[in-house]
Structure 1
Amino acid sequence: MTRISAQAAVAAIALTTIGAVSAETIRFAHVDPAEWTQSKKGAASQVFKNLVEAETDISVELYPAGSLGGETELIEGAQDGSITVAMVSGAYANFCPAAAVTDIPYTFPNAPLAWEVMDGEFGDALAAHCLEQTGLRTLAYGETGFRNFTNSVRPVAEPADMAGLKFRVQTIPLYLEMVRGLGAEPQGIAWGEVPTALATGVVDGQENPISVIYSNNFFEFQDYLTLDRHVYGVDHILINDEFFQSLDSEQQAAVQRAAIVAGTTGRAIQQFGSADGIAKLAAEGMEITQPSAEQMDKFRAAAQPAVQAYLRDELGSDAVWIDRLADAVDAAQGN
């Protein structure tokens, strides 16, 4: 997949309008809130729309807040062409299983390193592989951010502190294996039931990105936040490849540039939301623990083996992507 440099992407904002051979319409869908100034995917989609419409005769229609379905439906719609562009996260692994490797816990130590890996050779190779499997071209990557643990019992600074605690997780084997590996008890509970489960003590804690923890008022039920950053969520900006190939070269370049700026915008909104959320959670009285580098190594050593073993069984020949990601992370760290 041809990638555009970050400098070229930013420069696209200043380009004058470029005429297109013919007018087209892009239907861009995501599940984030409709109020785009408060939404990473919403802000990304609005930026994409503005840039594409400034450079081409293509019009962009936005469909936020799951108005065209959940992430699975959006991906299916992008495959059949009823949706042109879908910005999705975890559900993509159901269509391109190799994409699940980015959810291996404690893989990315920080966001800038994750960006370097996803915007580099590994991300390009994964995109090409998934294009073959799905017919969807990855235009760019954004992020849903790091997930962190909260609980109502005690501060958690290392895996030993999690012993005996019950954590609500998504009913996804990767998350179940991760929590078991850390010595706690995972509980698969539907999202709508989480506040009640936390308030009544059915579970001691849960895990989510900072913005979700704050926006759902989990501080009302949880006293302790651990900034362990166990899973880094990737957003995929996907386009129906048949549609993309129908565009002329100038349109393709404009769409690609716009998507890269959109992904960068989503990352920035997410980073701001996390910083803002941490400050607000502290103000609400949550005790916040940032594990040391040594403690983070303990989390990694406890959680990764079981998850990697599960994924190797699930992925079969695609398990090579586990090692390709680990090698890319090591290279980015200079190891």
Structure 2
Amino acid sequence: MKKLKLLLLTLGIIILAACGDEGTSIETSASGEQVYKLKVAHSSAATDDRLENSLQEFKKSIEEKSNGRIIIETYPNSQLGAERETLEGVQNGSIEMAVISTGPFSGFSKSMMVLDLPYLFKNGEEAFEVLDGDFGDKLFDNLLEETGLRGLAWGENGVRHMANNSRKIVTPEDVEGLKIRTQENQAHMDMIKAFGGGPTPIAFNELYSSLQQGVIDGYENPFSLIVGMKFYEVTKHLTLTSHVYGVYGFVINDDVYSSLPADLQELLEEETDKWAVIEREMNQQQEEAGRKVMEEHGVEITELTDEQYNAFRDLAAPVVESYRDVVGADVYDLLMEKLEAYK
């Protein structure tokens, strides 16, 4: 009986050491130090994409600088679920970390929806001047308080444009009647409605097949994602509507973060800041190359005149204003204050 109790106690210790808090895998190195295995999930392509490539740089650097005390395992291409499912996984601790586009965050924290309002940021310089300061910190603070998701850094997703397989889009009238795939984000859906289209929320990992089968007429994405996911293979027309400047949130389960020793917490924050710089640079390069790739594959790309661009922006303006109370007047007003100060 004593031997049995000792065996059960030993097994219990082994199981606890292997699993850790909230599903985090914790092992012991040969030197007796704890080793933390952290999964990082995202929905972009597994190869030739700025998100996975930048995360591989992050993995290499943090494993080296932690002397192997942190091991990073990346799960691209929605391997652990669509973006909303991935966020739920990070929230409940079954997934330690994720890099997610801002759209799905609105279902977890209303203030995050402000980042998906149309025609706010003109470019990355403007966006990150705002997000890398106290406004971005406020959004992450709200997210942590409301969800237990700790924001670590902001990445770049790129300027979103309108693509479809029905006709060339030059005016909002050309959007009327088209079924346009959107994220599960009410602000995006309201924008498409304002343009006259029919918003159709579909998970990102189902977008290619939905285009291929004609379930939808079109979608809206940046060049980087269109090329990374090879959507150009099932796309005929793209118009440079530049309606949303998209960003990524790099998040971690707060219980997992709190379980790390202080020196590894500090290292994690330093390395995610470095990741943000690398990922933004890679995204810019992929955006620049993306247009050429699409043209080479026969996608018709349409540039708008200032008048045509303003027609879309003017229709979207009431949508932006209608979200002041939804995202929180304090958040909305602070963003407008920061944008005005930047200009």
Which of the five TM-score ranges fits, normalised by the shorter chain? Answer: 0.7 to 0.9
Matches within 5 A, 1:26-37: 26-32=37-43, 35=46, 37=47
Name the residue aligned to 2:110.
97
The answer to whether the 8 Å contact 1:34/1:64 transfers is no
Choose between structure 1 and 2 for higher RCO, CA contacts under 8 A separated by at least 6 residues.
1
Question: CA separation of 1:59/1:218 partners in 2, compared to 1, >3 Å: closer, same or farther?
Answer: closer
User: Counterpart amino acid of 1:275?
Assistant: E
CA contact (8 A) 1:168 1:207 kept: yes
Shift of 1:138: 1.0
The 5-angstrom pairing of residues 145-156 of structure 1 reads 145-152=158-165, 155-156=168-169
Residue 143 of structure 1 is aligned with which of 130, 148, 156?
Answer: 156
Q: Deviations over 1:167-197 (max 9, x none)?
A: 4222643223212222x22242643322222
C-alpha displacement of 1:33: 5.2
RMSD between aligned residues = 2.9
Aligned-partner residue type, residue 79 of structure 1: Q
Which residue number in structure 2 is paired with residue 188 of structure 1?
A: 200
The equivalent of 1:6 in structure 2 is: none
State the aligned residue count. 304
Find the aligned partners of 1:226 and 1:319 in 2 and give their Cα distance: 33
Correspondence for 2:50: 40
1:322 matched residue in structure 2: 332
TM (normalized to structure 2)? 0.77
- For the residue of structure 2 that corresponds to 1:38, the secondary structure is coil
Number of the residue aligned with 1:11: none
- The residue number in structure 2 matching 1:244 is 257
Q: Does 1:64 align with 2:75?
A: yes
User: Counterpart in 1 of 2:62?
Assistant: 52
What is the rounded CA distance, in whole Å, between the counterparts of 2:243 and 2:85 in structure 1? 27
Bigger mean CA offset, 135-144 vs 96-105: 135-144
Report whether the alignment pairs 1:159 with 2:159: no
Could you say which structure has the larger radius of gyration? 2
In 2, Cα distance between the equivalents of 1:233 and 1:21?
43
List runs of 5+ in structure 1 lacking aligned partners.
1-19
Higher mean displacement: 90-99 or 169-178: 169-178
Q: 1:242 to 1:227 in 2, by over 3 A?
A: same
**Shift, 1:283, TM fit:** 2.5
Work out whether residues 169 and 175 of structure 2, in 8 Å CA contact, stay in contact via their aligned partners in 1: no
The alignment status of 1:302 with 2:321, answered yes or no, reads no
Given that 1:47 and 1:258 are in contact with CA atoms closer than 8 Å, whether structure 2 keeps it comes out as no
SS in 2 for 1:51: helix
Kindly indicate whether the alpha-carbon contact (under 8 Å) linking 2:39 and 2:95 is maintained by their aligned counterparts in 1. yes
Corresponding residue for residue 221 of structure 2 = 208
Pair 1:120 & 2:133 matched: yes
Partner residue in 2 for 1:23: 34
TM-score, normalised via structure 1 length: 0.79
How far did residue 259 of structure 1 move? 0.5
Q: Which residue of 2 aligns with 1:5?
A: none
CA distance in 1, matches of 2:71, 2:240: 38
- Partners of 2:324 and 2:136 lie apart in 1 by 20
Alignment partner of 1:84 is 2:102 = no
Distance 1:308 1:21 in 2: 57
Shift of 1:223: 4.2
- What corresponds to 1:73 in structure 2? 85
1:273 maps onto 2:290 in alignment:
no
CA distance in 2, matches of 1:166, 1:298: 18
Structure 1: distance between partners of 2:185 and 2:87: 19
| Aligned partner of 1:169 among 181, 200, 221 | 181
Partner of 2:16: none
The whole-number CA distance in structure 1 between the counterparts of 2:32 and 2:172 is 59
Q: Which residue of 1 aligns with 2:246?
A: 233
| Letter paired with 2:66 | T
Deviations 1:281-321, CA, capped at 9 Å, x for gaps: 22233332333445433322211312542x34644xx2432
2:213 alignment partner, SS class: helix
After TM superposition, the runs of 4+ consecutive aligned structure 1 residues lying more than 6 A away are none
